[in-house]
Amino acid sequence: MKSTLERSSKPNKRSQALKSILQKQGLEHIAEDLIDPGIQTTGPANSPRLVSFGAGSVIQSHGQTNIAQSIELFNQLITKELARAASGLGIDEAELQAWVDLQIEAPAKTILILLRMMQSLHLDPLSEEIGFSQYEDGQWQVFITIEGCSKLLNQHPQFNGLHFTQADTLIDGLPEWIECSIYRKDRDVPTTVREYLIEVKGEKFKQNSNLALNRKVEIYYEKVPTKKIEKEEVKKEPNSFVDRVSNAKVGDKLVLKNLYFYNRSGVFRPESRPVLEELLAVMKNYPKLKIEIQGHICCQLGTDVEDTAKVRALAVYNYLIEKGIEVKRLTYKSFGSTKPIYKIPERNEEERNENRRVEIQIIEN
């Protein structure tokens, strides 16, 4: 079988692009005729000579005799890395070569970086797990997609879930920032990444002289509380959540009313903040209280395919841990749609809202 990595005998856009680079470096005379790679002119030592470049040739001055050789070596390096990447990921080499050939505008250096990252992270660009993009400043950057990040997280043996939170303040109806906490089984404190809307949109964002610093996220770690958690003052109004908890017995279940999430996710909506803060205050005021956080969904019978109920119960669990509640006082569980308040399919939106809920069960009080 003929190797798919052999060069075409016809001119291609990548060769033309590389020629353009040489022109910018001072080679103003580019031969338009296709000249056999083995042919070169003879003459005085200080005269220009023809060297092969892709499917064509360039006139090269004596002081730049190594440029074409360097480009050739670099192309050979890309060829080797492409073969290794295809073999390591178990994908068809011809398909990967075709994908690379379509990236006409991408610099060879960026392609080389991507091929090496493919091997080190075991990510496949054909499955849209990794790629690259050009910024407005002209710089190229390899990036990992959502699919790639999910793959890396889920295959890590210590991965123990994600928790998303967002700012209460809104800009054009969107949260000022959103952050993601990544939990590990072998660590007590999560790694938290925050990104600001103004940086994503690029509005009024002051450029740093160091361009690399303009493309960033902020990573910080929360300290584990070492002192005793202070009690917070809570109003014990009749039939309030605080009142219901104080009167609850072991085994009782209490619905967290007005707790809302964005569709099919574990991201709290801004209006859920008072409910979370009230639950936190109760946990701080009743230090012997232990609960199980239970997630439920509506509308569908059978398996919770997207595990939405579990993700939402875990979001409440992670919120309380982040705020200093001890892990030993909390557990979480998903019931999917197996314990609806109203029979599925529901008759109206009110019944769906009742079935779609997070509740707590008193384990110890």
Sorted by sequence, the CB contacts under 8 Å of residue 320 that are 6+ apart come out as 279, 280, 283, 330
Q: Give the span between the Cα atoms of 314 and 334, in whole angstroms.
A: 9
Residues 6+ apart with CB under 8 A from 298: 337, 340, 344, 346, 351, 352, 353, 355, 356
Residue 314's identity, in one-letter code, is: L
Q: What is the pLDDT of residues 30-47, one digit of tens each?
A: 444 333 343 343 444 444
Reading the chain (365 residues) residue by residue, the pLDDT tens digits are: 444 334 444 445 555 555 555 454 444 444 443 333 433 434 444 444 443 333 344 444 544 557 778 888 888 899 999 999 999 999 999 999 998 888 888 888 899 999 999 999 999 999 889 998 887 778 888 989 888 888 888 888 888 888 888 888 887 788 888 888 888 888 777 788 878 777 665 544 454 444 444 444 444 433 333 334 345 555 556 668 888 888 899 999 999 999 988 777 788 888 888 999 999 999 999 999 999 999 998 887 777 777 888 989 999 999 999 899 999 999 999 998 889 999 988 888 888 888 889 999 999 98
Instruction: State the first-to-last Cα distance of the chain, in angstroms, to the nearest integer.
Output: 74
pLDDT tens per residue across span 210-258: 444 444 444 443 333 333 434 555 555 666 888 888 889 999 999 999 9
**What class, spelled out in words, does domain 241-364 have in CATH?**
alpha beta
Number of H helices, E strands in the chain: 10, 14
Which residues does 10 contact at the CB level (< 8 Å), separation at least 6?
55
Kindly give the pairing relationship between strand 330-336 and strand 290-296. parallel
The three-state secondary structure class of 127 is: helix
Q: What are the respective helix, strand and coil percentages of the chain, to the nearest 5?
A: 35, 20, 45
Which residues make Cβ contacts (< 8 Å) with residue 287, sequence separation at least 6? 229
Residue 133 in contact with residue 141, Cβ under 8 Å? yes
- For the chain, where do the domains classified as CATH 3.30.1330.60 start and end? 241-364
pLDDT score recorded for residue 65 = 54
Query: Which pLDDT does position 194 carry in this prediction?
Result: 79
pLDDT of residue 317: 93
